[in-house]
Structure 1
Amino acid sequence: MSRSESPASPSWRAPFARYVIGRGVSTAGTGLVNVVLAFAVLRTGGDGFSVGLVLACSVLTQTLLIPVGGVIADRVDRRTVVVLGNAVLAAAHGTMGLLLLLAPDRVTVWTFVAAAATTGAAAAAVQPAFQGLIVQLVPPTALQRANAALRLVLNVARIAVPGLGAMLGAVFGYGQVLLAAALAFGSCCAVLAGLRISTPPRATKAVLAGAREGWAAFRSRPWMWGYALSGAVAVPLWLAGYQLLGPLILSGRDDGQGHWGWAVSAFSAGMVLGSLIALRWRPHRVMLACVLVQLLWPLPLAVLATHPELPWLLVSMLVSGASLELAVVFYETAKQQQVPEELIGRITSLTMFGETALVPLAYVLAGTVADRIGSGPVMWICCLGILAVTVALLPVPGIRRLGRPTESKGATHLKQRVTRA
């Protein structure tokens, strides 16, 4: 085995570092947008319904188009998809920023809706392509370290950027923050345009045939579709409990808003902790470890449903964030190691579609039922539901037995895949 072919060789690290920088900058841009978008809509005369309409339009567009994005990511050079997608994000947010600065009277809720639909469509193409690039850059035996390092950078960005965005919005205005976000997306384009990777042969099948091929590959792996099916239930239940019911429960308490802010910070800190643990802990049965650590994920929902005292809430949020981060790293590693590179985009899009499709319904049902029977009982339903669908994965043979690739497989994967940036 030559040095250039060895998974231990640093030949893949420089291109991957460029990828991490580009994706981190793009994530920072998204964080800047998220922290000011609702306030910008309200400042231009919108109300709560208007904010919900803008957010729903973005989520709905992304959910509907992400299967198409997965097919595109497996048919077209992924670097090109990511660069063009971030260019669209830069153009959309830059246009909104300029309008808010130069012609605020012409900005309406429908202007934001149009921008949300555009950015949702761009994100639907970018996300599967981002995932696919990892397996083109990193050998299988180094994927967990790479995923953990990437997630560490992204989590730090998600913690730091919202505070910075809020400060910039208060000092300079929302238009300037959107322009800063556009600059971040544009910087991502510049960084990743210089990423040099060998492009593997792409399938020449029609789009529908390619989608069917991705579905067949997904369906042929019980451990994967079982985990995706579990996530299609667990993710909406978690978001309903965490984003909707949690603030409702604390809203009636003294300094409930402050306590919730600390709780969210503890969860983010837990995700950083999980990334650090994943850098060192490399279980052989990666999917079994994924499911077992995920059992701790709904712990804060149980605390909120009983006695949401701040110390217990903070500890539970820290543990939950770490467990979720470990589960994400382990699953992404298993997927990238076990799925052929040319199918990664389609497999990723199917998983993401399943996890987001029922989220709007979960919000509506959780809020409606909580108004009738109280937030506490609904929180217990969310908590126990997540535990049930997670425990149901343990009997799946692929979950229990899936191991790691050998060093020789990592060397074969790396050969002729990466050139120095």
Structure 2
Amino acid sequence: MTTNDIGTGTGTAAEGSTHTPSPLRLPAFRRFVLAQLVSATGSAMAPLALAYAVIGAGGGAGALGLVLATSTVPTVAFLLVGGVLADRLSRSRLLFLGNLLAAAGQGALALVVAAGHASTGTIAACGFVSGVAIAFTTPAAQGVVTRLVPAHQLQQANALLRLPTNAVKVVGPVAGGLVVAVSGPAWALGFDALTFGVAALLLLGLRLGAPVAKGSALADLREGWSGFWSRTWLWTYTAAGTVLVAAWLAGYQLLGPVVTEQEYDGARTWGLVQGAFSSGLLAGTVVCLRWKPERLLVVAVSASSGLALPLAALALGLPLPWLLLSAVLAGITLDVAGVTWVTAFQQNVPDAELGRMSSFNQVGERLAVPLGYLVVALVSSAFADRSVLAVCTGIIVAATLLNLCVRDVRRIRRAPSRNGGTRLETRNRERTPNS
């Protein structure tokens, strides 16, 4: 394998090898993993600190909802711009600037809260900055792994990236709660800003080269849409994912705490459910380190249906042990779905298009956040919570089954061809010149 193969992620020399060395042997990949871990450590504490910063400023649920919306809207609005830039500029430089911007936003918020001058408006303004940063870093991050590891190591690399992040999700909120309780939200927000700054410096050291831009940014965007639409497996997965994520967020994030308060032991039960789910995420990452299915996209789509399990358990009012088991299984299947999906995406989209294809996919799934919350807000007054949970369960199952009916989803295979794409991707490129 040549140095160029390692740089582009399209090497095939070791594809048939029975022993695959760990991507952690590659210094650049280790640096990327460390940057992700550092950033995730601060981000795991931030939601709790943000909530208490809003409360400390005299706000309630409405103010917190406004702050969260203010951080979400710019992400959706600027994702397509971030995708175009990720295919025109150095992705490592974009990640550096994005993390630096996030550090500035969280740092300003920490200072405002510490000085006692926080208000819903100032908190929302800092959240807007963070939302813009996410819009530029998300598409760039999708295309970094393919530059750091060869194609046959992509699934292992994606799993290794998620392993420390999922571990932090288990302990991060607890640590954040302790910091907020002892020192106040400003310290937790300041720590989050510091982790973004450290991650930025680590990412700057990757020094990935920039692609050669041939046309205007608008032309790149049009070409990206043509490429996205020509890949049936990609846009159908995005459409199904938007519906599925909306149903999951509506059932789990909104109705989950409400139902556990009414039917179980309130906050204690919900804390156990979230802990079980996080433990499942960790277990799913371990599964992906060992299991390498050939039909990546079929596995990703099928595994997504596991999110229906805790919703069904809540709808049926099952005893707590069964509810916890369903949460663990949902976490396992979600992480398996995430790793196999990202691997299939990276192996079947050319490196020059990864940023734009990722941004189109992310726009669809992020639109599910307000969609799910809005639908539940409209129907919750007319229907019982358990009935809404049952409907959300059915939507997840239906979206999964319909997506599995798409022929191109079933045709995606693991083994890449010599040019770094699968035979399906080669046919797509031949059929659609703009893709």
Per the normalisation by structure 1, the TM-score is 0.93
Conserved in 2, the CA contact under 8 Å of 1:85 and 1:122?
A: yes
Give the letter aligned to residue 324 of structure 1: L
What is the 5 A alignment of 1:13-52?
13-52=26-65
Q: Is this contact kept in 2: 1:97–1:179, CA < 8 A?
A: yes
Q: Is contact 2:94–2:140 with CA below 8 Å preserved after alignment?
A: yes
Q: Which of 279, 302, 306 pairs up with 1:296?
A: 306
CA distance in 2, matches of 1:214, 1:2: 30
Offset, 1:150? 0.7
Residue-by-residue CA offset, 1:233-267 (whole Å, 9 max, x unaligned): 11111100010111111111352211111001111
In the TM superposition, 1:162-201 aligns within 5 A as 162-197=173-208, 199-201=209-211
Counterpart position of 1:131: 142
Match of 1:257 in 2: 267
* Aligned residue in 1 for 2:107: 94
Q: Which has the higher contact order (CA 8 A, sep 6+)?
A: 1
C-alpha change, 1:407 and 1:347, in structure 2 (3 Å) is closer
Asked if the contact 1:3/1:9 (under 8 Å) is kept, the reply is no
| Aligned partner of 2:316 among 306, 325, 350 | 306
Matching residue's letter, 2:131: G
Q: 2:248 aligns with which of 238, 245, 258?
A: 238
- The C-alpha deviation readout for 1:81-139, integer Å capped at 9, x for no partner, is 111111111111112212222x21x3211100110111101111011111111111111
Pairwise CA RMSD of aligned residues? 1.9
Structure 1 CA distance for aligned equivalents of residues 373 and 212 of structure 2: 39
For 1:83, the equivalent position in structure 2 comes to 96
Letter of the 1:263 partner, please give it: V
Aligned to 2:342: 332
Q: What fraction of aligned residue pairs are identical, expressed as a percent?
A: 38
Q: For the residues of structure 1 that align with 2:326 and 2:342, how far apart are their CA atoms?
A: 24
CA deviation digits over 1:150-180, x for unaligned, max 9? 1111111222211111111111111111111
Give the alignment partner of residue 400 of structure 2, picking from 386, 390, 394.
390
Q: Once the 2 structures are TM-superposed, how far is the Cα of residue 410 of structure 1 from its aligned partner?
A: 6.2
Residues 102, 196 of structure 2: 8 Å contact kept: yes
Superposed displacement of residue 187, structure 1: 0.6
Task: For residue 285 of structure 1, report the CA deviation from its aligned partner.
Answer: 1.2
Q: Which residue does 2:426 correspond to in 1?
A: none
Offset at residue 409 of structure 1 (A): 5.1
Q: In structure 2, do the counterparts of structure 1 residues 66 and 2 end up closer, same or farther at CA, with 3 Å as the change threshold?
A: closer
Helix, strand or coil: the match of 1:371?
Answer: coil
**Aligned AA for 1:89?**
A
- CA change 1:217–1:407 in 2 (3 A) is closer
Structure 1 residues 295-346: Cα deviation after superposition (integer angstroms, max 9, x where no partner): 3221111110012321010000001111111111111000000101111111
- 1:407 to 1:395, Cα distance in 2 relative to 1, 3 A: closer
Per mean C-alpha deviation after superposition, the further-off stretch among 178-187 and 12-21 is 12-21
- TM (norm. structure 2) is 0.90
Deviations 1:45-64 (A, max 9, x none): 11221111101111111111
Q: Contact 2:93 / 2:207 at 8 angstroms: preserved in 1? A: no
User: Residue 260 of structure 2 contacts residue 266 of structure 2 at CA under 8 Å; is this kept in 1?
Assistant: yes
The 8 Å contact of residues 245 and 367 in structure 1, kept in 2 or not, is answered as: no
What are the residue-to-residue correspondences of 1:363-382 with 2, within 5 Å? Answer: 363-382=373-392
**Worse-superposed segment, 161-170 or 199-208:** 199-208
Return the letter of the residue paired with 1:30: S
* Aligned partner of residue 296 in structure 1, secondary structure: helix
Structure 1 stretches of 4+ with a deviation exceeding 6 A read: 9-12
* Aligned residue type for 1:56: A
1:139 maps to a residue whose letter is P
> 1:127 & 1:254 partners in 2: Cα distance?
37
Deviation at 1:293, TM superposition (A): 2.1
Alignment of 1:45-60 (within 5 A): 45-60=58-73
Q: 1:244·1:367 contact (CA, 8 Å) conserved in 2? A: no
Superposed CA offset, 1:341-361 (max 9, x none): 111111111111101213213
Change in Cα spacing, 1:229 to 1:259, as seen in structure 2 (3 Å) is: same
Aligned length: 408
Q: CA deviation at 1:291?
A: 2.0
1:408 Cα offset (Å) = 5.0
Provide the rounded CA distance (Å) in 1 between the counterparts of 2:298 and 2:119: 50
Q: Which runs of 5+ in 1 are unaligned?
A: 412-421
- C-alpha separation in 1, matches of 2:187 and 2:211: 42
CA distance in structure 1 between the aligned counterparts of 2:141 and 2:21, rounded to whole angstroms: 23
